[in-house]
Amino acid sequence: MSKRDLKKYLSELNKTQLEEQIIELYEKFSAVKIYYDFVFNPKEETLLQECKLKISNEYFPPRTSAKKARKPKMRRSVSQKFIKHFILLGVDAFIIGDVMLYSIEIAQTFSADRVVKQELFFKSMFNSFEQAIIFMIANGILNEFKPRIIAINDETMRQNWYNKQEFDAIIERLEY
């Protein structure tokens, strides 16, 4: 069904029928429920804190008991799922930008204390960095995040990441 056909169909329904259909969608599909729950009670700050906690747990897992903490998983996919979810919900671009940079910053905090040998880790962080820059430019919020962006680049230099020149190249393009 095309969008035009849908509009035609909906225009033929009365208010009660429309309400019934929306309630049915709300009950049947969790994505619709999540969307309406967010629209009517955004709680963006709570979502942000939960998101940051889950991202940090990827690198610094909590201790389960008196035993050692579990091994860090370092999955970029966790932050990517949150970012995609926030974009779908229509969360403020500043919050999404904050999460994008936070995921890189927490990974850098982790790599500052531990030796990371997986080349994929560094490639992944670069991809996240590049996506964050593109997102911020597209949403006109780059200048607000510039100090954090530069700090991330400086940290790649300080930690001597193998792909530090790629990070630096993005910063140079932004300055001109």
- Indicate whether 68 pLDDT > 80: no
**Secondary structure (DSSP) of 52-105:** HHHHHHHHSPPP-SSSPPPPP---HHHHHHHHHHHHHHT--HHHHHHHHHHHHH
pLDDT-above-70 percentage for the chain: 96
Report the pLDDT averaged over residues 143-157: 96
Q: Given a cut of 60, is residue 154 above it in pLDDT? A: yes
Structure tokens at 142: 């780059």
Long-range contacts of 59-65 (CB under 8 A, 24+ apart): 59/106, 59/107, 59/109, 59/110, 60/106, 60/110
pLDDT tens-place string over residues 98-137: 999 999 999 999 999 998 999 999 999 999 999 999 999 9
43 vs 91: which has the higher pLDDT: 91
pLDDT at 69: 67
More confident residue, 37 or 21: 21
Average pLDDT of the chain is: 91
Does position 176 have pLDDT exceeding 60, yes or no? no
Please tell me the predicted confidence (pLDDT) of residue 44. 85
What pLDDT score was predicted for residue 166?
96
Cβ contact 86:47 at 8 Å = yes
50 against 62, higher pLDDT: 50
Supply the DSSP string of 46-65, one letter for each residue: HHHHHHHHHHHHHHSPPP-S
The predicted model scores a pTM of 0.82
DSSP string covering 110-142: HHHHS----HHHHHHHHHHHHHHHHHHHHTT-H
Q: Residue 174: pLDDT band by 50, 70, 90 thresholds? A: confident
